[in-house]
C-alpha cells in the first residue's frame, strides 16, 4: 500500500468523472456534523446520493438536514451515535436499520475523529488517551466491521461499493493519542484492503492535508485560516473516491491506495 504523490504525469481521462457517479447511491458519512464530513454530506446529496449523516450532536445534524433540503438536494437520513459510548449492539442496530430501509450500503466515509489534547507522551492523561483511541480507532473499526455485509449487498445490486478512510500523518511531537490512532487507522485501512482484494468493496484512503475546519482551529487557534483548503474542495474529492468512477484513477486501480487531496483534485 502506498501514498499517491505524483499523478501529474498521468492521463487526464478521469477529468470530471465525479459528476455522474453516486446518483441513487446510499452513503454513510461519519462525523458529518462539521468540517469535511458536513461538506461531503452536502456534496454527495447534491450529486443525488441518499446520505446517512452520523454525529453525536443532534441539533447539528438537524441543521445539516435542513441545509440539504433547503438546497433542493436528495433528502438525507439522520443517525446520531456517540462514538465514545458505542457498543457492539449499537453497531448491530445500525446495520439492521440500514438493511431494513435500503437493503444495501454503497459507500462508507470513515471521517469521524477527535483531537483530544496536544500533550507530551510523558504527561498524557490515561483516561484521555483511552477516549481518543476509542473515538478515532476503535469505533471506526466497529462501524466498518458492521457495514461490510451491507457493502457486499451492493454487489448484488449490480454495483461495487467503497470505503474511504480520512487519514492524517501526525507522527511528530505532541500529537499523542491522536497521532497513534491515525497511524492505527492507516494500518486498519491497509489490512482491510488486502482482505477485500477479491470482493467488490473498494478500500482506499484520503489525506486531506491542511483544511479550514473547527478541528484545525482547535489544534492551531492562532493560525491564519484564510489560506487553508476549504472543506467544500475536499468534499468533491471525497465524493469522487466514494463513487464507482474511482475504481481506477489515472489508469491505475485505486483499491488499497492512499491519495493526497491535492493530487486527486488536479484531475477533477
Q: Does the active-site annotation cover 178?
A: yes
Cell of 38: 458536513
Nearest to 164 by CA among 61, 50, 266, 37: 37
Q: 121-145 as b/e, with b when 16 or more CB fall inside 10 Å?
A: eeebeeeebebbbbbbbbbbebbbe
Nearest to 117 by CA among 104, 107, 132, 102: 132
In this structure, what are the phi and psi dihedrals at residue 238, rounded to the nearest 5 degrees?
-60, -45
Q: DSSP readout, 98-163?
A: HHHHHS---EEEE----------GGG--HHHHHHHHIIIIIHHHHHHHHHHHHHHHHHHTT--EEE
Q: How far is CA 227 from the centre of its chain?
A: 23
Q: Report how many helices (DSSP H) and strands (DSSP E) the chain contains, helices first.
A: 9, 10
Q: 17-51 as b/e, with b when 16 or more CB fall inside 10 Å?
A: bbeebbeebbbbbbbbbbbbbbbbbbbbbbbebbb
Catalytic residue (one of 65, 73, 79, 178): 178
Asked if 107 and 241 touch (Cβ cutoff 8 Å), the reply is: no
Q: Would you put residue 128 in left (φ > 0), alpha (ψ -120 to 50) or beta?
A: alpha
Nearest to 247 by CA among 161, 188, 165: 161
Residues assigned a catalytic role? 178
Amino acid at each position: 500500500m502506498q501514498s499517491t504523490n505524483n499523478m501529474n504525469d498521468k492521463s487526464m481521462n478521469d477529468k470530471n468523472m465525479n459528476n455522474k457517479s453516486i446518483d441513487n447511491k446510499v452513503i454513510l458519512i461519519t462525523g458529518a456534523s462539521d468540517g469535511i464530513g458536513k461538506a461531503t454530506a452536502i456534496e454527495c446529496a447534491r450529486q443525488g446520493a441518499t446520505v446517512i449523516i452520523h454525529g453525536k450532536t443532534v441539533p447539528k445534524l438537524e441543521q445539516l438536514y435542513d441545509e440539504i433540503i433547503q438546497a433542493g438536494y436528495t433528502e438525507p437520513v439522520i443517525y446520531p451515535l456517540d462514538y465514545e459510548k458505542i457498543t457492539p449492539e449499537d453497531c448491530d442496530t445500525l446495520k439492521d436499520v440500514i438493511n431494513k430501509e435500503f437493503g444495501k450500503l454503497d459507500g462508507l466515509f470513515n471521517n469521524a475523529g477527535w483531537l483530544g489534547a496536544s500533550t507530551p507522551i510523558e504527561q498524557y492523561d490515561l483516561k484521555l488517551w483511552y477516549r481518543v483511541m476509542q473515538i478515532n480507532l476503535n469505533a471506526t473499526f466497529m462501524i466498518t466491521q458492521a457495514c461490510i455485509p451491507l457493502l457486499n449487498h451492493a454487489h448484488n445490486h449490480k454495483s461495487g461499493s467503497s470505503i474511504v478512510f480520512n487519514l492524517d500523518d501526525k507522527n511528530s511531537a505532541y500529537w499523542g493519542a491522536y497521532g497513534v490512532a491515525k497511524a492505527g487507522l492507516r494500518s486498519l485501512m491497509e489490512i482491510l484492503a488486502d482482505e477485500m482484494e477479491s470482493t467488490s468493496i473498494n478500500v482506499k484512503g484520503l489525506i486531506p492535508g491542511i483544511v479550514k475546519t473547527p478541528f484545525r482551529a482547535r489544534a492551531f487557534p492562532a493560525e491564519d485560516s484564510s489560506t487553508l483548503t476549504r472543506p467544500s474542495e475536499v468534499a468533491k474529492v471525497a465524493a469522487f473516491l466514494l463513487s464507482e468512477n474511482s475504481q481506477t484513477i489515472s489508469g491505475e486501480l485505486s483499491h488499497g491506495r492512499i491519495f493526497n487531496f491535492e493530487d486527486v483534485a488536479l484531475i477533477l
